Amino acid sequence: MIIGKRLGEDRFKFYKTVLAGNTDQLLFDEEFNAWFVFNVRNLHTLIRDERLKANTKTVIDKLPLKIETIRTLKNFYSNWVMFTDGESHKQLRRLVGTIINTRYHAINYTWPQINKNCDFTTEYARPYVYGILAQLVGVSVEDISRMVSASETINSFLLRERLTLDDIEQVAHSIEYAYQVVKEIEDKHVGEPLYIGNELLDLPQETRYPLIINLVTDGFAPFVAALDFLAFNLLTHPYLEKELNAKARQISLESLRLFPPFTTISRTCVHEIPFKEKIIRPGQLVIFDLYSINRDPEVFPDPEKFNLDNTARAYSFGAAQHLCSGNPLVRKALEQVTRQSESLYKYKIQSSCFKNSYGFTDMNLSIELK
C-alpha cells in the first residue's frame, strides 16, 4: 500500500476511505519501506522502544554522494537534537532545554492589533515569530530573517517524501551557507549580554552552529503555521471570542491538537521488532502520523470537533525523550496571542487554503473587514 504519497495528497480523505475500520491502525508502505502508526495505543507501545532510533547517520552513509556532502550532512544532523539518541541526545537536549527555559519567561509576547485587510501570514504571523526568535537568540529581527532565509532548503531534507541526489547536494550547500551567515552574525554579537551563542562558546563551531540553526529553523515554520491555524480556528468558531481570556490555554492547545504543523515523527528500526503478528525489520522506518494520533477516538471523544473540554494529552510536539524542547515557548506564545486576539473578530476570512505535505502542514490565510 502507498501511504506517504496519499497522505501528502489528501490526508483527510485517506483517513476516511482507507484508515476507517482498520483495527490495527498500523499499515505498511512498500514505497517508503515504512510502517505507519495512526493511534495513541500503538504510539505508546513503540515510541520508547530502544530498537527504534532517531539517528539519520546510517541513512546518509548509504547515499551515493560525495564524501564532503556526506560529511556535511552527518555533522549537521548529528548535532540536531531531534536526530540524536542516547547520551548525545541527553546532552544536547539538556543544553537546548536549559537555554530555552531560562529565556522564554522574559520574552515580550505582545501581539499587535489587527487593523487591515491582508495576508495574515505575511503581515502578522511571520513578523511576530521573527520578533520572538530575535528575543530568544539575542540578535536583531534582520539577523533572524537572514538565518531563516539561509536555512530554508535544510528543512526539505526532513519534509519532502522523496529527494533526488541533486536535491540532497543542495541541502548540503544550504548548510554550508547557513554556517557562513551564523558566523557573520556571531562575529557581530558575541560578547553582547543577550546573545545566545555566549552560552555555547565552549562548544566547537561544528556543534555550536548547527545548534543555533536548529533553534531558529526548527522553530520558525511550525511556529508560523501554528499562528495561522490559531487565527483560522478563532475565526471559524466565533463563540470563542467570549472565551479568549478565560480559556486561552484550552483554545491554543485545542488548535494545536487539530492542526499540528509537523505531521509525523519518524524512527528507524535497528533490531527486529515483533508487533501485533507483524515484524518490523531492521532498516524499515516507523512513522507516527500525528494528525491521526491527535484524532484518535479512543482518546478524544468526537475528535473532529473543536472541543475546549478535551483534557487528554495531544502529541503535537512529539513524545517521550524527543518531545520538542521549544514547546514551552510556543505554548506560552499561542496562549498570549489568544488573550490579545479581540481585534481579530472585526475581520472575517477572505480566503483560506490548507497546505498539506507528507511531513508538514500550513495554511494560506487572508482576512478582510466584516
pLDDT band for position 157 (cuts 50, 70, 90) = low
In this predicted model, which residue has the larger pLDDT, 368 or 18? 368
Specify the pLDDT at position 358.
66
| Angstrom distance (rounded) from CA 153 to CA 172 | 9
H or E stretch covering 143: helix 141-151
User: Measuring CA to CA, which residue among 208, 324, 196 is closest to residue 261?
Assistant: 324
62 pLDDT above the threshold of 80: no
pLDDT above 70 coverage of the chain, percent? 96
When pLDDT is cut at 50, 70 and 90, the band that residue 84 belongs to is confident
Tell me: the pLDDT tens digits for 108-154? 999 999 999 999 999 999 999 999 999 999 999 999 999 999 987 77
d(CA 226, CA 259): 8
- Distances 30 to 5, 44, 347 between C-alpha atoms, Å: 11, 24, 46
What mean pLDDT is predicted for residues 55-81? 81
Mean pLDDT, range 206-215, rounded to an integer: 91
pLDDT value at residue 57 = 61
Is pLDDT above 80 for 286? yes
When pLDDT is averaged across residues 220-226 and rounded to a whole number, the result is: 93
C-alpha cell at 272: 527486529
Res 161 pLDDT > 70: no
Closest residue by Cα to residue 196 from 125, 111, 106? 106
| pLDDT at 58 > cutoff 70 | no
Cell numbers representing residue 80 in the block:
540536531
pLDDT reading at 357 higher than 90: no
Q: How far apart are CA 76 and CA 78, in angstroms?
A: 5
pLDDT tens digits, residue range 87-104? 988 998 999 999 999 999
Number of domains in the chain: 1
Q: 132: how many CB neighbours lie within 10 A of its CB?
A: 23
Strand 285-289 versus strand 264-269 pairing type? antiparallel
Residue 331: count other Cβ atoms within 10 Å of its Cβ: 18
Q: Which residues contact 238 (CB under 8 A, 6 or more apart)?
A: 345
- The answer, yes or no, to whether residue 285 has pLDDT greater than 80, is yes
| pLDDT interval class at 218 (50, 70, 90) | confident
Q: Which residues pair with 360 in a beta bridge?
A: 262
* CATH number, position 51: 1.10.630.10
Kindly state the percentage of the chain with pLDDT values over 90: 67
Higher pLDDT, 250 or 22: 250
The helix/strand/coil state of 69 is helix
Beta-strand pair 264-269/34-37: unpaired
- Name the most confidently modeled range: 22-26, 137-141, 315-319, 324-328: 137-141
Q: So what's the pLDDT on residue 289?
A: 95
Residue 66: pLDDT band with limits 50, 70, 90: confident
Task: State the pLDDT at residue 359.
Answer: 75
pLDDT at 79: 85
181-184, long-range: CB < 8 A, 24+ apart = 181/146, 181/147, 181/150, 182/147, 182/209, 182/212, 182/213, 183/209
Average pLDDT over residues 239-266: 95
Given a cut of 70, is residue 160 above it in pLDDT?
no
Position 303 confidence tier, pLDDT thresholds 50, 70, 90: very high
Q: What is the mean pLDDT of the chain?
A: 91
Give the confidence band of 166 by pLDDT, cuts at 50, 70, 90.
confident
Q: What is the pLDDT of residue 111?
A: 97
In order, the DSSP letters of 245-276 are TTTHHHHHHHHHHH--SB-EEEEEE-S-EEET
Mean local confidence (pLDDT), 29-53: 94
Which is more confidently placed, 1 or 289? 289
Mean pLDDT of 292-305: 94
pTM confidence score: 0.94
Asked if residue 182 has pLDDT above 80, the reply is: yes
Range of the domain at 44: 4-369
